[in-house]
Amino acid sequence: MYLGKNLRYLRKQKGLTQSDIADKLGIKRTMISAYEEGRSEPKLAGLNILAGVFNVSVDELLNRDIEVAGKLPQQNQQVKILTIAVDKEDNENITMIGQKASAGYLDGYSDPEFIEQLPQFQLPNLSRNAT
């Protein structure tokens, strides 16, 4: 877990003192020191407040070394994962979905094994990676 390291790094980046953070959580300054040193961990409600103060997700606060990443993460970014089928030479394929669009038709399309079984083809004269 990276909580202590991230908490210290983010607090300093924002120019906040341990007392400032403690006031936001309604706890004593010594508890913030204990969090940063790894001697104690906040409750879930405290983690949510900390994540909000620093504009990061609880997951980032706990599981990612934010300082090594080199920049403050953006919590409100929308992340979309797009499955792209490729052949042995890393050329993109078009996956044919032989089903009429209807409610729930996307079920299973995030499963790589399912996508792998669908028919795939390429169109001539398209650049190698034209997604």
Does position 11 have pLDDT exceeding 80, yes or no? yes
Q: Where are the domains of the chain?
A: 3-69, 80-126
* Residues 92/129, Cβ–Cβ less than 8 Å: yes
Q: How far is CA 61 from CA 10, 19, 20, 39, in A?
A: 9, 19, 18, 16
Confidence of residue 92 (pLDDT cuts 50, 70, 90): confident
Identify the architecture of domain 3-69 in CATH. Orthogonal Bundle (1.10)
Q: Any idea how long the chain is?
A: 131
- The candidate with the shortest Cα–Cα distance to 7, out of 38, 44, 28, is 38
Task: Tell me the pLDDT tens digit for each residue of 22-46.
Answer: 999 999 999 999 999 999 999 999 9
32, burial (CB in 10 Å: exposed 0-12, middle 13-18, buried 19+): buried
Q: Which segments of the chain does DSSP mark as H helices, in order? A: 3-13, 18-25, 29-37, 44-54, 58-63, 66-69, 112-117
| Residue range 42-77, pLDDT digits in tens | 999 999 999 999 999 998 899 888 888 765 445 555
pLDDT at 26: 92
Would you say 53 and 24 are in contact if contact means Cβ atoms under 8 Å apart?
Answer: yes
